[in-house]
Amino acid sequence: MKKSISLNLLLLTITSINLFAQNNAYTQKMTPEILWKLGRLGSGMITPDGKNVIYSVSTYNMNANKAESNLFMAPVNGGPVQPLTNEPGNKDVLKVDKVTGRVTYWYDGHIWQMNADGSNLTMLTADAKDDLDNIRISPDGTKIMYTRNVQVQKILGKDLYPDMPKTSAYVFTDLNYRHWDTWQNGKNSHVFVADYDNGKISNEKDIMHGEAFDVPQKPAGGLEDLIFSRDSKQIIYVCKKKAGKAYALSTNTDLYCYTIATDETKNITPGMMGYDTQPAFSNNNTHIAWLSMKEDGYEADKNDIIIKDLKTGVNINLTAKWDETVESFIFSNDDSKIYFTAVYHGTAQLFSIDLKNNSTGSAQAIKQITKGQWDISGIIGQTGNNLLVTRMDMNHANEIYNVDPATGNMLQISDINNIIYDHITASKIEERHIKTTDGKDMLAWVIYPPNFDPQKKYPTLLYCQGGPQAALSQYYSFRWNFQLMAAQGYIVIAPNRRGMPGHGVEWNRAISGDWGGQPLQDYLSAIDDIAKEPFVDKERLGCVGASYGGYSVYMLAGMHNGRFKTFIAHDGLFDLKSWYGTTEELWFANKDIGGNYWDKANGKAQKSYLKFNPSSAVDKWNTPILIIQGGKDYRVPIEQGLQAFQAAQLRGIKSKLLYLPDENHWVLKPQNAIVWQREFFDWLKLTL
């Protein structure tokens, strides 16, 4: 990999983007093809001198049907962005040397190093190590930590019976035999620590000692699940040390502290029964903080920030009296504050906690820093008095911004997609407040087509959010993209119905056990409210959604009383009884629908299975429906989509099945995603 070749490739990439902009100078709307040309911001790291930020950007190669990432550097106070790499494949920054400024990064199974301007590129490791993941170099540079899959059980037939090497059998004696999109094969992801010397890795040790547990947590855990202490002597990792049925029924993760010198591990969150995640040491190494949920089995419980004094062992819940839930956080450089992000009233914003005057979790110690129609989606770090954050909105994917905590003022630092966005007409996004059937005030986002004309009439889509307790804020999705929907000529209304964070804990919790009750009435209130506007074509209303949103579509298909002309459901729950018998994270079903279907004395569960079960109302279906189902979705398995399609067909309802055999609960492959979007909009054109 020669630098001259890299620069030539880079120039070609920049030229192609400029040509796209020139050739599309009059482009007025987003299309699926343009959407998939956008770069996607990855991880970022501030250089030790605080002057620059190095970050990764993924772009999708449609012909190769996969993503590739490269590294860029931008001044934290604004200025020209400098590309550092431009080769196919994924890259992750591991460390920036405080003295030399040399950048160490992971690429193609090797550790590489280069100058801060991308020059003097050197491959440090001699042997490729493609099986390593979640790599961290210790603060003192002498240790390296990573994860790797380890065989700890015999489940595959060929492992149980070596004389049958071609058998494809699996043999299970307990749950959890599959998870999200992967069958259990006897391997677990373990944390390893080793000596590190300028790319040389030696004296490797499995700090989990062969346990049948995973780090990071599956399916969504990552590098935030494991950290070095500031003095490089300890490792903290997140793990749910449960197996079988206990694993399927619990969300109880704990933080484990591993001392490198003694090879000893200690649970530092005993008795804390929900999710404990995202550990972080204070800069002076005297405290550790993390996010914590109280209730075992409740994945959407309030996320609080807990801080532990490592000398006294005392824990303080810093957000105990604050009526919202935290998403991410960092310590300030002087350890006087914690900065965090949280969804608040339909947007995600930046907040701070005063650590010097907060021994009781007082809400008065919390200050909101940013306000605006956007999402602060993450915090990269602090530089001087300011913070670098990532920010998005419904018209723009993530970019890096410099925030002044004193004023909330922001300066855009990265320019990943400016060239493309400068040639696209943005949608107007409007906050709308709606009275629900029980007299509550509900926020909804309304997304209008580009160049919206209130004198015209537009077809309108009700968007049903998944989760069911996921936020509906100013996020930018690459599949359920509101900008893309509006660009095709649709008004979209996206209500913050019961169950969403950002409107207080009570509003967030209200959906559990009431899936088919008030939340669906909230949806109907939203579409009825927007339909009063003269610019809405009341004869052309559609309803779309995925996961719980797909469940909502199936339910509304049996109770909409002629409101909608078409439906689209992706990976929705159609029959709760068969779903309970095939899904994997049973704690979710037990919490949200009340439990199993055979316990006739459980009134809450029986209400869900009988009253809130979409399959029970198929006799009332009478509207065209597109059904989308992933073949590797084990959370909402394949029988859900197939049953819904078969029912619609046998009822004589105009219907279509889009089956994606190699996709899970999401659509991750770019060519599948383009097909998904083309089918989505073709269906709307045909039926609306």
> Tell me, what DSSP letter sits at residue 81?
-
Query: Encoding tokens for residue 196?
Result: 């590190």
Task: Please state the φ and ψ torsions of residue 224, each to the nearest 5 degrees.
Answer: -65, -10
The answer to whether residues 447 and 494 touch, using CB atoms and an 8 Å cutoff, is yes
- End-to-end Cα spacing for the chain: 52
Element (H, E) at 483: helix 482-487
> Tell me, what DSSP letter sits at residue 156?
B
Residue 138 carries which side chain, given as an amino acid letter? Answer: S
Q: What is the full DSSP assignment across 646-657?
A: HHHHHTT--EEE
Closest listed residue to residue 355, CA positions, set 378, 331, 379: 331
Identify whether 547 is a catalytic site residue: yes
**Side-chain half-sphere exposure of 127, counting CA atoms within 13 A:** 6
Q: Is the peptide bond before 613 cis (omega within 30 degrees of 0)?
A: no
CA distance 492 to 446: 6
CA distance 618 to 356: 59
Closest listed residue to residue 596, CA positions, set 621, 577, 583, 613: 577
Biggest CA-to-CA distance, the chain: 75
What residue ranges in 394-525 does DSSP mark as E strands? 396-403, 410-412, 429-435, 441-447, 458-464, 491-495
Query: Which position among 138, 525, 633, 655 bears the catalytic label?
Result: 633
CA distance 370 to 407: 8
37 CB-near residues (< 8 Å, 6+ apart): 20, 59, 60, 420
**Side-chain half-sphere exposure of 173, counting CA atoms within 13 A:** 4
CA distance 390 to 377: 5
Buried b vs exposed e over 15-50: b needs ≥16 C-beta within 10 Å?
eebeeebeeeeebebbbbebbbbbbbbbbbbbbeeb
The answer to whether residues 151 and 187 touch, using CB atoms and an 8 Å cutoff, is yes
CA distance 229 to 251: 25
The answer to whether residues 606 and 612 touch, using CB atoms and an 8 Å cutoff, is no
CA distance 488 to 585: 37
Rg (Cα) of the chain, in Å, rounded?
A: 26
Query: Which position among 547, 608, 615, 655 bears the catalytic label?
Result: 547
Element (H, E) at 112: strand 110-114
User: ∠ CA(336), CA(340), CA(346), 5° rounding?
Assistant: 150
The answer to whether residues 127 and 115 touch, using CB atoms and an 8 Å cutoff, is no
Can you list the pairs that 201-210 forms with residues at least 24 positions away whose Cβ atoms lie under 8 Å? 201/125, 201/129, 201/144, 205/263, 206/150, 207/235, 207/237, 207/258, 207/263, 207/265, 208/239, 210/150, 210/152
Identify whether 138 is a catalytic site residue: no
Identify whether 665 is a catalytic site residue: yes
Catalytic residues: 547, 633, 665
